Structure 1
């Protein structure tokens, strides 16, 4: 049986070369924030009508609450622009000859997820060796999984190893799902003597690939740590998750997922990039020293279904100031349909709410995440359609805040939402084959923001309600497009 994976490194394709050039000149836009901010401020101040009704008080609070995350996100984008101006000071990308890279790819091993897994593994063996002459790809799966035979055949490539988690394996704290598999892999590295400072673990999802540009940015980061003073070297870093148009099954969910890469260049850049990943991290393009991962592990207990975020908050406490952000991209795929989109958000919210109430993590490390999650799960209740419906029912359609100055906060928040979808779409289009947005896509994504916010909010609210009802948590794995 052929895996479709070549056994020798591939020369960079023409698309990879063009993509690297496009990425090299990218930086977050400013006009896409300032223009809507100006319009919102002018309109808000012009139409302001004093009000002190209960509805106005509620809106003053809930529509102002996101300002914490907004300001952090703006900081992140500005930090990227500053680093771009200093780009000439950075050492050019070169192979990481003195370090060893393990690309870790957990998979549930279903037949409907295998095509995406093969696509992802192919990208690792094609693009990473040019910058990592010492590396391995560990495909992590469950004993007796549906696609076991196909997954086993991946190991025919000399750089690929299939690690099978035995059904009987249990962690001391009873951790389940993906975190259980990650912990098994972590214990295996310790047993094999790989929990070393010069060994880096690149955590990826089974539907997320890399390119030559990814390998170059990752090597540049790792080489920079080798040159740094031991007291200043970083132990963890996160890149940008993007969604090429070609990987999308549904254009609607592809547009809706424009918000995700924008979060990487905003909140994650600001917090993870300045050393304290208090907003959490995501499980793709997360690189961590094996020696540091060995001190944390993944045994967070049976309720852990956002294990990446919990790892990040634990890292905050143990290694403050030692994380970073790098301008590298990985290439994933949006959910195949609206139902999967909502299910995905529901699982995230479920786990994040539990994490916000986890008292084993000091409040100083989880308060920011708690504010962001609260804003998320309140989304459906503060949607403009719901607000207008409530106003109509109580006979008061005045939605002005209790003070005119609050209009400034609201304008900043709403302009930031517009910016996230605009810039996120720009990023996703940039990594697609054409390298640009189609003329109708910016129009569509802006027009559909109210719809996207409903889907995001419904998923968040459903996750919170399941947590509140103490329903059994599950790690829902959606189908992965090839």
Structure 2
């Protein structure tokens, strides 16, 4: 068990785990895990042959999610869910140069300017010295003339050796000999256009670099700390906060292998590693270049670690953008899974992620079907099904706990927000499955989600 710092932090963590156990117990009860009834009837006579077969498939298919669910469970219970703000381990003056790299199409110059300005102020507040924000863009943005800012425009005629596309193409251009200005000992922090640094994330990055144990690392991203443009997509993204603290934290902090991939922002990589692995993966690695990079780095023997602190981003501004974003992820993971340049032993985690995309619609109805339509089934299966459903439900609740402050909202509104994502699960599942259908029916492409806030929200 990781050391928990501070009495109040211990209490918060213990209360969180207690809530986790309550939710697991409730869901296990609903799925028949605690039922001692021995159903001896013949379901084929009671329900018919094909309905019975379908019901059994739906019950057992839940077990497909177990590897990912176990990683989420261990990430939550093994480490402090409410860590205190990290403290600097060394003087910022002693750190190597840090390049905060942002890739953009150039569609949102005002957003990029505002975000870079915010992030520079945060770096100054922490006392960071050797750093630069490098904006790699397809179209000139017109960033201010500042020694802390470098604008890199990717020529329209540029193509990589292996024909990489989209963001991977821009990232590869930044690594070319005539463009790259980093030395092997410098570090690169990958950010999205709207990613906002916090003091805790900058300190976490500084400590990670100072320790210099792992070649790349990942941290937590929160989606509710600034303006919430679309509540439906924001609530749907709460599960991503849970998976950051769950499966990603377990894989990065315990196994030090990106078994379940990684994300493209709050990704910290040593420059020598990025120059060695590169982003020139061809078409197969162009939709989810972050996941592809992590697996390629793992193949070359590099290890990863978890970075303390959190960064802030916004969820998609509409259900349409949400669906198209997920569609790209699904197609990218499929291309990664079937790519011949990565051995299968490195892609087992991606295999289970892909399976979860296509089976979750059959798994969720079990919470209703189990009490209404009983089946003779081993109690162990019922326990495991309840465990799977309970963990997934808790990840949404935990996302709320990490996102909203009950002292500011009031206890009633806070509890309502914690319950609301569970009630909206059918909506979230519908959006996810629209993405699955689109992934099969339409060709690939790197959809750029809306990121510039409407003017009225900026007043």
Q: TM bucket by the smaller chain?
A: 0.7 to 0.9
- Candidates 348, 351, 361, aligned match of 1:380: 361
Deviation at 1:307, TM superposition (A): 0.2
Q: In 2, Cα distance between the equivalents of 1:239 and 1:96?
A: 23
Deviation at 1:457, TM superposition (A): 3.1
Structure 1 match to 2:338: 357
Q: In 1, Cα distance between the equivalents of 2:201 and 2:163?
A: 35
Structure 2 match to 1:449: 425
Summarize deviations over 1:106-145 as a string: whole Å, max 9, x none. 01111xx334323321222111243420010001101xx3
Structure 1 match to 2:122: 127
Structure 2 match to 1:300: 281
Maintained 8 Å contact 1:73/1:270? yes
Q: Provide TM-score, normalisation by structure 2.
A: 0.85
Structure 1 stretch 453-462 or stretch 346-355: which is displaced more? 453-462
Deviation at 1:330, TM superposition (A): 0.9
Maintained 8 Å contact 1:101/1:132? no
Q: In 2, Cα distance between the equivalents of 1:255 and 1:38?
A: 24
Deviation at 1:371, TM superposition (A): 0.9
Counterparts in 2 of 1:409 and 1:24: CA distance versus 1, 3 Å: closer
Summarize deviations over 1:307-337 as a string: whole Å, max 9, x none. 00000111111125x2100122110001111
Superposed, 1:229-268 pairs within 5 Å as 233-268=213-248
Counterparts in 2 of 1:290 and 1:276: CA distance versus 1, 3 Å: same
Counterparts in 2 of 1:433 and 1:425: CA distance versus 1, 3 Å: same
* Structure 1 position 218 matched with structure 2 position 179: no
* Structure 1 position 139 matched with structure 2 position 126: no
Say which SS state the counterpart of residue 136 (structure 2) adopts: strand
Superposed, 1:280-299 pairs within 5 Å as 280-299=261-280
Question: Gaps (5+ residues) in structure 2?
Answer: 1-7, 45-51, 454-459
Structure 2 match to 1:106: 103
* Structure 1 position 31 matched with structure 2 position 13: no
Deviation at 1:79, TM superposition (A): 3.3
Structure 2 match to 1:165: 154
Superposed, 1:84-103 pairs within 5 Å as 92=89, 94-95=91-92, 97-103=94-100
Say which SS state the counterpart of residue 282 (structure 1) adopts: coil
Counterparts in 2 of 1:383 and 1:454: CA distance versus 1, 3 Å: farther
Q: In 2, Cα distance between the equivalents of 1:454 and 1:105?
A: 32
CA RMSD of aligned residues (A): 3.1
Structure 2 match to 1:116: 111
Counterparts in 2 of 1:192 and 1:355: CA distance versus 1, 3 Å: closer
Counterparts in 2 of 1:431 and 1:91: CA distance versus 1, 3 Å: farther
Summarize deviations over 1:20-47 as a string: whole Å, max 9, x none. xx99997582123210211223341338
Q: In 2, Cα distance between the equivalents of 1:82 and 1:427?
A: 9
Q: Provide TM-score, normalisation by structure 1.
A: 0.81
* Structure 1 position 208 matched with structure 2 position 190: no
Structure 2 match to 1:426: 401
Q: In 2, Cα distance between the equivalents of 1:62 and 1:289?
A: 40
Question: Gaps (5+ residues) in structure 1?
Answer: 1-21, 226-232, 392-396
Structure 2 match to 1:156: 145
Structure 1 match to 2:451: 480
Summarize deviations over 1:205-246 as a string: whole Å, max 9, x none. 001111112111111221122xxxxxxx21101000111243
